[in-house]
Amino acid sequence: MRAVIQRVTQAECRVDDQVTGVIEQGLLVLLGIEDADTLEDLDWLAQKIAAIRIFSDEQGLMNKALADIDGNILLISQFTLFAATKKGNRPGFTRAAKPDKAIPMYEQMIKKLSTLLQKDIQTGIFGADMKISLLNDGPVTITIDTKNKE
């Protein structure tokens, strides 16, 4: 699994001009799922996302996590995080999980994050043409890949 985590002061997802998810201060998380991903990867990544300390404390240092600021998550599925770009100019997506695997894993990530944070997780719609707007705070953008845990 790969996640691109952006610290935001606001973020919104629209599908067909309808809002599917919206947050104020928190994290916009773009999540890519590949065939090799396991529930162990999902649990590890969910823990990382919930606990990552990228919000400023009183001294301006990144020492606070989502729970410390009562922040929220907008979770967006994004298979393009597994784009292969070495050959040619058109990306390939063969490493990205097919919907029959990716949808249950995405839904499990929503549940896991909701349990860890004790709040609802805002989302897009899997496989839809989504329009994401955000105000990146900092900017702070972190990438995490479960295949690079060390």
Instruction: Read off the tokens for 72.
Output: 């929220």
Greatest pairwise CA separation for the chain in angstroms = 48
pLDDT tens readout for residues 6-57: 999 999 999 999 999 999 999 999 999 999 999 999 999 999 999 999 999 9
Confidence of residue 94 (pLDDT cuts 50, 70, 90): confident
Residue with tokens 């719609």: 125
**Where does the pLDDT of residue 95 fall: very low under 50, low under 70, confident under 90, or very high at 90 and above?**
confident
- State the Cα–Cα distance between residues 82 and 121, nearest whole angstrom: 23
Residue 92 has pLDDT above 90, yes or no: no
Q: What pLDDT sits at residue 80?
A: 87
Q: Is residue 144 part of a domain?
A: no
CATH number of residue 35's parent domain:
3.50.80.10
Q: List, for residues 102-145, the tens digit of each pLDDT value.
A: 999 999 999 999 999 999 999 999 999 999 999 999 999 999 99
103 in a structural domain:
yes
Residue 9 lies inside a defined structural domain of this protein: yes
Query: Can you tell me whether residue 43 is helix, strand or coil?
Result: helix
Q: How many domains does the chain have?
A: 1
Task: Answer yes or no: is 7 within a domain.
Answer: yes
Catalytic positions, written as ranges = 80
Domain that includes residue 98, residue range:
2-138
**Segment 53-67 mean pLDDT:** 96
Long-range contacts of 135-138 (CB under 8 A, 24+ apart): 135/8, 135/9, 135/10, 135/11, 136/6, 136/7, 136/8, 137/7, 137/8, 137/9, 137/25, 138/7
In a domain, 143, yes or no: no
Is the pTM higher than 0.75?
A: yes
Q: How many CA atoms lie within 13 A of 15 on its CB side?
A: 11
pLDDT at 111: 98
Q: Is residue 67 part of a domain?
A: yes
70, 57 in Cβ contact below 8 A? Answer: no
Q: Does the pLDDT of residue 150 top 80, yes or no?
A: no
Backbone φ and ψ for 106, nearest 5 degrees, come out as -60, -45
Within-domain flag for 146: no
Between 9 and 89, residue with greater pLDDT:
9
Dist. CA 49–CA 4, nearest whole Å? 10
Residues 22, 28, 55, 61: is their CA dihedral positive or negative? negative
